[in-house]
Structure 1
């Protein structure tokens, strides 16, 4: 499988490399770098990850020494509303975009991968299910490829070939669609494992509609992570493996635990061994933060910290909504401190109300 690599009709693979090499030399403060591999999966709560993906979870803990963030809480409703804070550090309503601008593309927005690209990182952006992609569903998407390696042309072509799909549109002939996009990402990170890169992959279709389909994803993600480990691909890479939210509809969502799980996706972070040894304080902070309230805004701030590792200004960062996970998150942090909208806060206490309480009776009287 080849890569779709052009930002425009002129730049080719050679020019991408030349630009990245020159830019990285200009901005680099250290020969050793941290590449970024962001792997997102749609609609899997942390608890459903535990229930349905035991092989993947065991490999993350036992083989990759993954940090497991128990207090990771979404900040808004759906994928788009949580991915935007993760990749721009802002709520959607803070951007120059709203629902009346569905015909306006996202090319003008300053996503985090653009910041890394400016510093000489090769960039990849990959999503499956072309009809429902984060910035395309009921939106205008990107008019130009948003990364050096961009697979939307592939996803559009696959979607248009109706006779190649089977198994409820989850397989291309005998191959799971998810596996195609995992392989696309694997080849990219393997090719550039000694070079700085920023890879953003988000996979939706298999797990979006059915909770039980999560078990079908287990072996696919296990083999993907196992392959990265065997190829020593992660020696210079920080891997963020996460979900956007739990299942948002259906009978399970109507239960109390379903409501809680919807708000608590999973987040794992894997660091190279050399980084943990060179920066033990950062590693210790990350371990502490596994037990703290964290959000997609914190992922953005952590990526910003990595990008500006030697010049990161903690005081200036306080003007932004997230906290870098490289620094200790306060144990007393509350939802309002973390910019979690009240409806999505899982810290709220539950109270049993009388049927005569005004909160109950007032809506029925109107």
Structure 2
């Protein structure tokens, strides 16, 4: 449709029940089984820590606790950088590197359809499924990845958001609105209507909102009252009587001034995660309910959420007990998570682990200087193959340096000395073959802020920077515009040449520009 010739006053979207969905379900199970299987409603917001949720969305936070009885997980820890590193483990039980190649600029790259997404498990068990997400330009599976060849769920909202975003009505509307309708209302209503239209069958819904909170947490307060209204409607209508409700975030704020503080650093790594178990399941499976409550202050990850979802499909299975030696990467939160679980056991890289002590270091420390050099070399290698597009970044200043130290009990733990794994045998001998230095540097000419953890092999003297342990702390806007489509993985490293023309004369650095300084000055 030619939007320039159309005259829209308002966009409309609805969930239209599909006969093929009911036909598929009828072949899997008898209608009498529908209500025995619990529904799942997952609703996430981008970049919201648990504490940020309390600050910006207090009404929702209170409703989750006091009305729905949600368990809020204070030790929920991310396992990687940005949204995909949070949601891929949650939805597949695997990390991105363990799955088929689906990145945009790789030869023979596949579509995300090849991923073992958990909503397929639910569909195979007789569930109607929904995936809705706003902000199509930064979609979870579309920013860096190839997206889907076919709709991934029975109801998929992306086509609607693409049409809305491209329309002159949206472009001419106040921020966060299309016409007189706040954009988040479409997301909430679509999710709500899915539960209404499929009232008599089991349902799995995954909804994710980015627009309000991705760049700045403060606008999150705009959705607070409407969020509560949606839950009140579903709760009073009985739609949540047999529904697990998971309200969560992918990570905390990754930008803004607060991220440059220790508080901001911790909050990025500790996003919101809550689970409400319906009353009838609490009564029918009291052990599962007790386990869920006990795990509220344990170290848990997105891998555990995936195991929890799989567990929901088989609530009657025997609860698993994990000893210190058999703690898997993912543990259902309906089982009890061991209290002695460490970041290493949970497959959380040192850079993202919040269970650490930090020792402040002086800039003259030899390890710090070598770590900076290793990191600047790493930044150069990322964009060297596209140097015709991206300018070489130059070291400007060191802002912060710490030595990351695991808790002494973790370092000294040898084994459990009782059958119940309640008492540990600790040795006074600590053998550390690797050290980890976390540094924050400023770069030019992009005015960038980077944080990384450098691993040092104390035997060989090698300094290693892993891409999974690099955070870009400033908002880089259109700096990587020249690689956005073809090389989206380079967005946080690329500063396009055309943006720096004012500092060059005849293609070479001018006398007032900064010359490349790769090594520690």
TM normalised by structure 2 equals 0.65
Q: Are the aligned partners of 1:37 and 1:200 in contact in 2 as well (CA < 8 Å)?
A: yes
281, 287, 297: which one pairs with 1:281?
287
The reply to whether residue 104 of structure 1 matches residue 110 of structure 2 is yes
Q: Are the aligned partners of 1:247 and 1:253 in contact in 2 as well (CA < 8 Å)?
A: yes
Q: Are the aligned partners of 1:4 and 1:150 in contact in 2 as well (CA < 8 Å)?
A: no
The reply to whether residue 38 of structure 1 matches residue 42 of structure 2 is yes
Q: Structure 2 matches for 1:110-129, cutoff 5 A?
A: 110-129=116-135
4+ aligned runs moved over 4 Å, structure 1? 1-5, 28-31, 165-168, 311-316
Q: Are the aligned partners of 1:89 and 1:321 in contact in 2 as well (CA < 8 Å)?
A: no
Q: What CA distance in whole angstroms lies between the structure 2 residues aligned with 1:148 and 1:307?
A: 18
In our comparison, the structure showing a higher alpha carbon Rg is 2
The reply to whether residue 264 of structure 1 matches residue 278 of structure 2 is no
Higher mean displacement: 53-62 or 155-164? 155-164
Q: Secondary structure of the equivalent of 1:340?
A: coil
The reply to whether residue 352 of structure 1 matches residue 357 of structure 2 is no
Q: What CA distance in whole angstroms lies between the structure 1 residues aligned with 2:273 and 2:20?
A: 35
Deviation at 1:38, TM superposition (A): 0.8
Q: Secondary structure of the equivalent of 1:351?
A: strand
Q: 1:354 to 1:137 in 2, by over 3 A?
A: closer
Q: Structure 2 matches for 1:35-184, cutoff 5 A?
A: 35-97=39-101, 99=103, 100-101=105-106, 104-165=110-171, 169-184=175-190
Q: Secondary structure of the equivalent of 1:157?
A: helix
Task: Say which structure is richer in strand.
Answer: 2
Q: Secondary structure of the equivalent of 1:207?
A: coil
Q: What CA distance in whole angstroms lies between the structure 1 residues aligned with 2:117 and 2:266?
A: 29
**Partner residue of 2:18?**
13
Q: Are the aligned partners of 1:116 and 1:307 in contact in 2 as well (CA < 8 Å)?
A: yes
The reply to whether residue 214 of structure 1 matches residue 220 of structure 2 is yes
Q: What CA distance in whole angstroms lies between the structure 1 residues aligned with 2:317 and 2:293?
A: 23
Q: What CA distance in whole angstroms lies between the structure 2 residues aligned with 1:216 and 1:231?
A: 24
Q: Unaligned 5+ residue runs, structure 2?
A: 1-11, 374-518
**Partner residue of 2:192?**
186
The reply to whether residue 24 of structure 1 matches residue 32 of structure 2 is no
Q: What CA distance in whole angstroms lies between the structure 2 residues aligned with 1:162 and 1:23?
A: 45
Q: Are the aligned partners of 2:113 and 2:148 in contact in 1 as well (CA < 8 Å)?
A: yes
Q: Which has the higher contact order (CA 8 A, sep 6+)?
A: 1
Aligned CA RMSD, in angstroms, stands at: 2.4
The reply to whether residue 240 of structure 1 matches residue 246 of structure 2 is yes
Q: What CA distance in whole angstroms lies between the structure 2 residues aligned with 1:223 and 1:3?
A: 18
Q: Deviations over 1:93-118 (max 9, x none)?
A: 00011544385311122100011111
Q: Secondary structure of the equivalent of 1:125?
A: strand
Q: What CA distance in whole angstroms lies between the structure 2 residues aligned with 1:18 and 1:29?
A: 15
The reply to whether residue 299 of structure 1 matches residue 305 of structure 2 is yes
Task: Say which structure is richer in helix.
Answer: 1
Q: Secondary structure of the equivalent of 1:206?
A: coil
Q: What CA distance in whole angstroms lies between the structure 2 residues aligned with 1:15 and 1:211?
A: 40
Deviation at 1:153, TM superposition (A): 1.4
Higher mean displacement: 347-356 or 47-56? 347-356
Q: What CA distance in whole angstroms lies between the structure 2 residues aligned with 1:300 and 1:284?
A: 19
Q: What CA distance in whole angstroms lies between the structure 1 residues aligned with 2:304 and 2:365?
A: 39
Q: Unaligned 5+ residue runs, structure 1?
A: 6-11
The reply to whether residue 224 of structure 1 matches residue 230 of structure 2 is yes
Q: What CA distance in whole angstroms lies between the structure 2 residues aligned with 1:361 and 1:132?
A: 36
Q: 1:209 to 1:166 in 2, by over 3 A?
A: farther
Q: Deviations over 1:30-56 (max 9, x none)?
A: 961111111111111111111111111
Q: What CA distance in whole angstroms lies between the structure 1 residues aligned with 2:254 and 2:221?
A: 18
Deviation at 1:137, TM superposition (A): 1.0
Deviation at 1:125, TM superposition (A): 0.8
The reply to whether residue 342 of structure 1 matches residue 350 of structure 2 is yes
Q: Are the aligned partners of 2:212 and 2:219 in contact in 1 as well (CA < 8 Å)?
A: yes
Higher mean displacement: 295-304 or 319-328? 319-328
Deviation at 1:340, TM superposition (A): 1.3
Q: Are the aligned partners of 2:100 and 2:114 in contact in 1 as well (CA < 8 Å)?
A: no
**Partner residue of 1:8?**
none
Q: Are the aligned partners of 1:245 and 1:264 in contact in 2 as well (CA < 8 Å)?
A: yes
Q: Secondary structure of the equivalent of 1:72?
A: coil
Deviation at 1:306, TM superposition (A): 1.4
Q: Are the aligned partners of 1:104 and 1:139 in contact in 2 as well (CA < 8 Å)?
A: no
